[in-house]
Amino acid sequence: MSNLAFAQRDLAVLWHPCTQMKDHEALPPVPIRRGQGVWLEDFEGKRYLDAISSWWVNLFGHAHPYINDAIKAQLEQLEHVILAGFSHEPAVRLAERLTHLAPPSLSRCFYADNGSSAVEVALKMSYHYWRNLGKTRKTRFVTLENSYHGETLGALAVGDVALYKETYAPLLMDVITVPSPDCFHREKGESWADYSARRFSDMEKTLAAHSEEVCAVIVEPLVQCAGSMRMYDPVYLKLLREACDRYGVHLIADEIAVGFGRTGSLFACEQAGITPDFLCLSKGLTGGYLPLSAVLTRETVYQAFYGDYATLKAFLHSHSYTGNPLACTAALASLDLFERDDVIARNRILAREMADATTGLADHPHVAEVRQTGMILAVELVEDKNTRQPYPWQERRGRQVYRHALSRGVLLRPLGDVVYFMPPYVIAPEQIRLMADVAREGIALATAD
Ligand code: PMP
């Protein structure tokens, strides 16, 4: 079947995520028949380099033989079982490994089945913890400007990307939003650390004023991914941890996008040397194979829910596919690969290759900034380099880069006018150069007039 014939079948029945479906009149969805390593192959045999790890989930490439084999073996044992009242080996083993690998003191693992649900779990657990302690005035959350935590109503409420949030504002709980430490806004010559530390004064003031009514502060450590890959310095997390302790407020670290080696360490929080009260994990958790999420927390939180049934303190939250054995097995296999292949060290070399492959791009007349944290590199396009005036959003310049890259066999999916790379960790140096060259061409085309 041709790409077009398949697209027609697709468009007759599917409603795609995060898509204005009318856009597909001009550019039909790309049907993928198979994946191998960094490559995706369409119905006509054309290949695309998956430079965004299929929405940031894929760590070790598509159809990795080791993960495939692990899932096949588990499939013969147990595909799924209810996790309430029952248990199974992959769920326990994964919880053992995650609590061992995570920052110290995160000794309890609660599973859900996608990122947004993990955020909902953390928000509810934090509120419920304070309630169980009799602190019933604590009902609010603090979030950062430009943050993103998912699309379900609770997760959307603590996010701040207008494109996704504004329409649904009347449905959302009220949160306290604090300016972001995002270093795009630093003064000329100011270091990331100085800017991020300076920005902390807003958070300090907010906590001083509202700590009595605040359950938790939620942040994406180091990189606000869906918020255009904006980045900040670990010092902010250090200051935030200290302040949360001082004011008696939880810290929720949403590492759904940045966890598992993306930022240069296994977890981004490690770079600040902190332990959050809740650590939300998903996406790369299963190496990009199956939906799964986990919220890790402290024993003190767990104990606040522990008691006789009649105290009604239990956390009665559930999702049907919680801790699915196949997904846990994929996660265990993915963790094996981290150990076996010394991935974090190898990623340092790849990150340098990404920087080298984009040398000079910062001098482009329509590039405001090239920024990088580990295995995430972003190029921000603007209309006016001096004032950093963005292009009118209606011009959809980033989409021109997307279209050009597709024609050249690379899957880039700019966030607005921010072109970024977030490739699988098995990418080879020459593939990094291809990805960067295609982005360069696309940027030249998209900014030509
Ligand atoms: N938090 C962050 C930081 C994310 O990047 C995402 C997904 N882009 C989510 C939460 C939501 O995860 P999911 O799409 O699995 O619901």
Measured CA angle at 441 (ends 438, 447), to 5 deg: 135
- pLDDT tens digit string along 149-195? 999 999 999 999 999 999 999 999 999 999 999 999 999 999 999 99
Q: Mutation test of ligand 1: which of 52, 116, 229, 376 has the most ligand atoms closer than 8 Å to its C-beta?
A: 116
Q: Are residues 41 and 72 in the same domain?
A: no
What distance in Å separates the CA atoms of residue 422 and residue 412, rounded to the nearest whole number?
9
- The residues facing 278 across adjacent strands are 252, 297
Residue 449 has a pLDDT of 87
Task: Give the span between the Cα atoms of 140 and 214, in whole angstroms.
Answer: 5
Per DSSP (E only), the strands in 199-355 are 214-219, 223-224, 230-231, 250-254, 278-281, 293-298
- CA 293 to ligand 1: nearest atom: 15
Asked if residue 331 has its Cβ within 6 Å of ligand 1, the reply is no
Question: Is any atom of ligand 1 closer than 6 Å to the C-beta of 225?
Answer: yes
Q: Tell whether 259 is covered by a domain.
A: yes
Q: In 203-229, which positions are buried (b, 16+ CB within 10 angstroms) versus exposed (e)? A: bbebbeeebeebbbbbbbbbbbbbbbb
Q: Are residues 321 and 360 in the same domain?
A: no
115 Cα to the center of ligand 1, angstroms: 5
Distance 447 CA to ligand 1 centre (A): 30
Cβ–ligand 1 contact at 224 (below 6 Å): no
Containing domain of residue 216, as a range? 68-340
Structure tokens at 150: 């998912």
Ligand 1 pocket test target in 113, 148, 224, 232 with most atoms within 8 Å of CB:
148
CA distances from 274 to 143, 205, 216 (A): 18, 21, 16
Measured in residues, the chain has a length of: 449
In 3D space, the residue among 432, 382, 319 whose CA is nearest the CA of residue 49 turns out to be: 432
Q: What is the CATH number of the domain that holds 218?
A: 3.40.640.10
| DSSP codes of every residue in 48-85 | EEETTHHHHT-SS-BT-HHHHHHHHHHHHH-S---SSS
Q: Helix 429-446 to helix 343-357 angle, to the nearest 10 degrees?
A: 40
Ramachandran region of residue 4, left (φ > 0), alpha (ψ -120 to 50) or beta?
Answer: alpha
Predicted confidence at residue 214, as pLDDT, reads 99
Pairing of strands 140-144, 176-178: parallel
Say if ligand 1 is within 6 A of residue 149 CB: yes
Task: Indicate whether 15 belongs to any domain.
Answer: no
pLDDT digits (tens, 9 = 90+) for 227-277: 999 999 999 999 999 999 999 999 999 999 999 999 999 999 999 999 999
225 CA to centre of ligand 1 in angstroms? 9
Q: Whose CA is nearest to atom 13 of ligand 1?
A: 115
What distance in angstroms lies between residue 116's CA and the mean position of ligand 1's atoms? 6
Residue 51, domain CATH:
3.90.1150.10
Residues 72 and 185 in one domain: yes
**Could you tell me the distance, in angstroms and rounded to a whole number, from the CA of residue 356 to the centre of ligand 1?**
29
Residue 114 beta carbon below 6 angstroms from any ligand 1 atom: yes
Number of structural domains (the chain) is 2
Burial 24-40 (b: 16+ CB within 10 A, else e): eeeeebebbeebebbbb
Is there an atom of ligand 1 within 6 Å of 256 CB?
A: yes
pTM over 0.85: yes
Residue with CA at minimum distance from ligand 1 atom 14 = 115
> Are 339 and 332 spatial neighbours (Cβ–Cβ below 8 Å)?
no
Which atom of ligand 1 is found nearest the CA of 116? Answer: 16
Residue where a domain terminates, one of 277, 308, 340: 340
- The span from the CA of 196 to the CA of 251, in Å, is 17
Residue % of the chain over a pLDDT of 70 = 100
Beta bridge partners of 367: 381
Whole-number average pLDDT of the chain: 98
Same domain, 80 and 203: yes
* Ligand 1 atom with minimal separation from the 147 CA: 3
Based on the fold, state whether residues 96 and 55 are members of the same structural domain.
no
95 and 111 in a single domain? The answer is yes
CA-150 nearest atom, ligand 1: 11
Q: What is the pLDDT of residues 31-43, one digit of tens each?
A: 999 999 999 999 9
**Is 261 found in the same domain as 377?**
no
The CA distances from residue 47 to 226, 357, 402, 422, in Å, are 26, 21, 15, 18
Question: Which of 18, 58, 117, 149, when mutated, tests ligand 1's pocket best, judged by the most ligand atoms within 8 Å of its CB?
Answer: 149
> Is position 16 within any domain?
no
pLDDT range class, residue 71, cuts 50, 70, 90: very high
Average pLDDT on 93-101 reads: 98
**Ligand 1 within 6 A of CB of 119:** yes
| Residue found by looking up tokens 């332990």 in the block | 275
3-state secondary structure of 184: helix
Non-local CB neighbours of 75 within 8 Å, separated by 6+ positions: 326
User: Measured from the CB, is residue 374 less than 6 Å from ligand 1?
Assistant: no
Residues 274 and 322 in one domain: yes
User: Of 309, 340, 371, which marks where a domain is finished?
Assistant: 340
pLDDT above 90 for 63: yes
- For residue 433, is pLDDT > 90? yes
131 three-class SS: helix
Which residues make beta-bridge pairs with 279?
253, 296
Looking at the structure, tell me whether residues 129 and 142 fall in a common domain: yes
pLDDT digits (tens, 9 = 90+) for 282-331: 999 999 999 999 999 999 999 999 999 999 999 999 999 999 999 999 99
Spatial contact of 447 and 381, defined as CB atoms under 8 Å apart: yes
How does DSSP classify residue 37? Answer: B
Please report how many Cα atoms fall inside a 13 Å half-sphere around the Cα of residue 322, on the Cβ side. Answer: 20
Q: Does 372 share its domain with 442?
A: yes
Q: Is there a single domain that holds both residue 158 and residue 181?
A: yes
- Can you point out the beta strands (E) in 58-213? 106-112, 140-144, 176-178
State in Å, rounded, how far the first CA of the chain is from the last one. Answer: 38
Closest approach atom of ligand 1 to CA 291: 15
**3-class secondary-structure state, position 355:** helix
Domain limit, last residue, from 340, 361, 381: 340
